[in-house]
Amino acid sequence: MKRLLLLTLLTAPTCLAQQSANKEVFWSFRPPVVVSPPVVKKTEWPLGMVDRFILAVQEQKGLSPSKAAEPRVLVRRLFFALCGLPPAADVMEHWNREIGPELNQTAIAALVDSLLKSPRFGEHWGQHWLDVARFAESTGGDANGIHLHAWRYRDYVIDSLNADKPFDRFIREQIAGDLLPISSDKEWAQNLVATGFLAVGQKLVGEVEDRKFFADLVDEQIDATTRAFLGLTVSCARCHDHKTDPIPQADYYALAAIFRNTETHYGLIKAQSRQYSTLLDVTGMGLPAGRDALTAQQLANMKAEREAAAQKMDDIMRTIRGGDGVTRAMLRRSRTQRDESEALMQSYDAQGNPLTFVMGVQDRDAPLETRILERGELDKPGSLVAPGFLHALHPQSAPPVLRVREGSGRLQLADWLASPRNPLTARVIANRAWHWLFGQGLVRTVDDFGLTGDKSTHPELLDFLALRLIEHKWSLKSLIRELVLTRTWQQASAFDEDKFDHDPDNLLLWRMSPRRLEAEAVRDAMLAVSGKLDLARPAKPLIAAAGEGTVGQAVFEPEIRKIEAPVRSVYLPRVRSVLPEMMELYDAPDASNVMGARETTTVPLQALHALNSAFVRRQAEGFAHRIAQKSLLEQLDFAWLTAFSRPPTNKERELANAFLFETEAGLKLERDAARRDALVIFAQSLLCAAEFTIRD
């Protein structure tokens, strides 16, 4: 039925908004409404309103919730869900005692509060938002240029989430931070960094046609903004009225009028890209430079290299004028060397101190007019269009008139997106939080709240959460806290065949669905149990070690892939099409598009990597060393508590002892060496276990 509807709509000549003004407004375009608490039969089960909504639907469908998770399971679940790391063995034992078999909610709340205050929270949940923001440290596409300054936006996201910055403020800063009132130069510089949201997207910088590149850049910004904050595919209206949602082409170009009058600064020089761009200089405004000052010798060498490159270019030009043969490749290479040497010099002052640059956006000095393009074709301009918003989100009245006396209109756009009167924004953000905690959203298509997306399984609950977010001053931490302190989230994950037959996708949340950890959490957990995880934030971007320029020309994939540091995975280089091996294997996104929900695959390469990877072997060695520090009686308990957050069963203890004994005997080494190597093999087997990568 859904396919038939989609086919009908795709062949329709106009968008839904133009077909009938009398049809009922689509659910997600209506403002959230306050509803009375649902009535439930099992009144002792709910801890709050969220549980009541869930239980009411279950009772209507003849289902019931599962029993509560065991304390150890819940503690491990909380650590991974909020911070992306496993609890240390002693920490697990402490909270297991505090929470107890009856699940002391006061103790659980204390644990939740401590995790929400941890800097590790922002690193883990920051990665969630970076997926949505399609963050990467390169342009992607045909000429994949490295962004050496994208890291500032990443750190801004992490710091904002750790500070529990109100989400409406978070939105405004990313769309129009450069236009917000400020109290200091440092605040303005930080706000510029926030607008990196609009600058870090994929860009086809090898495009020859300037107009097409600019149109594609604007389209990418519209797509990212509307998917991230509204859950709408507005870019589908670039060439014609949206075929399924009430978004006419005129609304697309009203948004384009805003972004066309925005300059995007992403920082590629002419030698590296046909579509080059400057960066924004914020030197002296309180931000870290991200690179070291030059010594006198380094500065002298850099000047000499610049002069040599310039001299070589002069020599080639004289050769050309003399009529001797010079290949295009020679000319291009010399010009690139000259331009890159000059650009490098311009990133330091006369004393060799690094200047501070950021990626971001600013309004154009001279405004550009915007016309609707027939079929999206650049050579078929139509009527003029003024900056504006989406009519469909104001079904009861006309949309607010955007009167732009000066500037692009981004500030007004940011205010409209972050307004509590916008029917979509709070719903979309609340649904994203639900997805990141439960594994699937109340609307499973987290980036599409339009007609082709899924409807909410619990529409009244979603409205409640959206209004709750606004009521709590857009505090994401408050929303997360409320959700994890529900019986719904604290359920066990045990399988029940009868309930599964009723609801195989667990849409009604009769249990907690087990989930494989994200790629970053798998790697970080291995580093954590090995004792090698460095929790300090890198002072400089790791990608700088690979150099600057285009991947495959000035920067090579092997140089990028060999960059490794025992830091949290959110700080690893994120180069489009060149992800770190472990990130790629465990489904980290390529950042080409907004990615609110990652795919989760289980493939043989993951097991082969765990068995053969040098990285995994090193972590197994570190883990084995930690195990060896314990007494023989404590070793197995410590190993299981560290890897799986539980003690071994009697059967596991028996098998582990037999494995270690047989492995030692088979190694034919001196006793201590045999025990050491056997422990490494044993530790690696624990890291390879499915239980290690599952959040139960």
Residue 389: inside a domain:
no
Residue with the larger pLDDT of the pair 310 and 376: 376
The pLDDT confidence band at residue 275, using thresholds 50, 70 and 90, is confident
Q: What does the pLDDT read at residue 319?
A: 66
Residue 668: inside a domain:
yes
Q: What is the pLDDT of residues 584-603, one digit of tens each?
A: 999 999 999 999 999 999 99
Q: What does the pLDDT read at residue 327?
A: 54
What gap in Å lies between CA 455 and CA 443, rounded to an integer?
6
Instruction: Let me know: does 458 contact 28? Beta carbons within 8 Å.
Output: no
What gap in Å lies between CA 546 and CA 541, rounded to an integer?
10
Q: What is the pLDDT of residues 65-97, one digit of tens each?
A: 999 999 999 999 999 999 999 999 999 999 999
Phi and psi at residue 405, to the nearest 5°: -80, -30
Residue 11 reports pLDDT greater than 50: no
Residue 90: inside a domain:
yes
Q: What does the pLDDT read at residue 432?
A: 99
CA distances from 360 to 179, 188, 212, 375 (A): 12, 12, 21, 30
* Domain span holding position 330: 296-353
* Closest by CA position to 594, among listed 225, 193, 262, 259: 225
CA distances from 426 to 421, 434, 463, 552 (A): 9, 12, 9, 42
Residue 625: inside a domain:
yes
Instruction: Let me know: does 602 contact 516? Beta carbons within 8 Å.
Output: yes
CA distances from 120 to 71, 86, 333, 533 (A): 22, 11, 45, 12
Tell how strand 515-516 and strand 694-695 pair up.
antiparallel
Structure tokens at 387: 């900056």
Q: What does the pLDDT read at residue 25?
A: 80
Residue 23 reports pLDDT greater than 60: no
DSSP codes joined into one string, 127-158: HHHHHHTT--SB--SSS-BB-TTTHHHHHHHH
Collapsing DSSP states into helix, strand and coil, what is residue 560?
Answer: helix
Instruction: Let me know: does 372 contact 253? Beta carbons within 8 Å.
Output: yes
Instruction: Let me know: does 184 contact 282? Beta carbons within 8 Å.
Output: no
Residues pairing with 384 in the sheet: 371
Instruction: Let me know: does 259 contact 37? Beta carbons within 8 Å.
Output: no
CA distances from 416 to 111, 171, 419, 506 (A): 37, 10, 5, 35
Residue 9 reports pLDDT greater than 70: no
Q: What does the pLDDT read at residue 551?
A: 86
Angle separating helix axes 89-99 and 632-644, nearest 10 degrees: 70
Mean pLDDT of the chain: 89
Q: What does the pLDDT read at residue 224?
A: 98
What gap in Å lies between CA 195 and CA 277, rounded to an integer?
16
Instruction: Let me know: does 361 contact 176? Beta carbons within 8 Å.
Output: no
Q: What is the pLDDT of residues 132-145, one digit of tens each?
A: 999 999 999 888 88
What gap in Å lies between CA 236 and CA 244, rounded to an integer?
9
What gap in Å lies between CA 502 and CA 507, rounded to an integer?
10
Q: What does the pLDDT read at residue 142?
A: 82
Phi and psi at residue 280, to the nearest 5°: -100, 125
The pLDDT confidence band at residue 288, using thresholds 50, 70 and 90, is confident
Q: What does the pLDDT read at residue 302?
A: 67
What gap in Å lies between CA 118 and CA 78, rounded to an integer?
13
How many CA atoms lie less than 13 Å away from 636 in the CB half-sphere? 16
Q: What does the pLDDT read at residue 267?
A: 82
Residue 253 reports pLDDT greater than 60: yes
Q: What is the pLDDT of residues 605-624, one digit of tens each?
A: 999 999 999 999 999 999 99
Which amino acid is it at 136? Answer: A
Which amino acid is it at 528? Answer: A
What gap in Å lies between CA 464 and CA 459, rounded to an integer?
9
Q: Considering 502, 518, 548, which residue would you say is the last residue of a domain?
A: 502
Residue 110: inside a domain:
yes
Residue with the larger pLDDT of the pair 666 and 418: 418
Q: What does the pLDDT read at residue 278?
A: 82
What gap in Å lies between CA 202 and CA 195, rounded to an integer?
15
Q: Considering 464, 487, 502, which residue would you say is the last residue of a domain?
A: 502
The pLDDT confidence band at residue 6, using thresholds 50, 70 and 90, is very low
Residue 409 reports pLDDT greater than 60: yes
Tokens 């510089």 sit at which residue?
189
Q: What is the pLDDT of residues 442-452, one digit of tens each?
A: 999 999 999 99
Q: What does the pLDDT read at residue 13?
A: 44
What gap in Å lies between CA 191 and CA 327, rounded to an integer?
46
Q: What is the largest CA-CA distance in the chain?
A: 95
The pLDDT confidence band at residue 2, using thresholds 50, 70 and 90, is very low
Q: Considering 353, 375, 400, which residue would you say is the last residue of a domain?
A: 353
* Number of domains making up the chain: 3
What gap in Å lies between CA 509 and CA 439, rounded to an integer?
11
Structure tokens at 572: 């690893």
What gap in Å lies between CA 330 and CA 310, rounded to an integer?
14
What gap in Å lies between CA 290 and CA 539, rounded to an integer?
6
Q: What is the mean pLDDT of residues 259-276?
A: 80
Residue with the larger pLDDT of the pair 273 and 487: 487
Residue 689: inside a domain:
yes
Q: What is the pLDDT of residues 486-534, one digit of tens each?
A: 999 999 999 999 999 999 999 999 999 999 999 999 999 999 999 999 9
Task: Tell me which long-range contacts 251-254 makes (C-beta under 8 A, separation of at least 24).
Answer: 251/388, 251/389, 251/390, 251/391, 251/392, 252/222, 253/370, 253/371, 253/372, 253/373, 253/385, 254/385, 254/386, 254/387, 254/388, 254/389, 254/402
Alpha helices in 472-556 (DSSP H): 476-484, 497-502, 519-530
Tell how strand 357-358 and strand 694-695 pair up.
unpaired
Residue 542: inside a domain:
no
The pLDDT confidence band at residue 672, using thresholds 50, 70 and 90, is confident
Q: Tell me, what DSSP letter sits at residue 32?
A: P
Residue 474: inside a domain:
yes
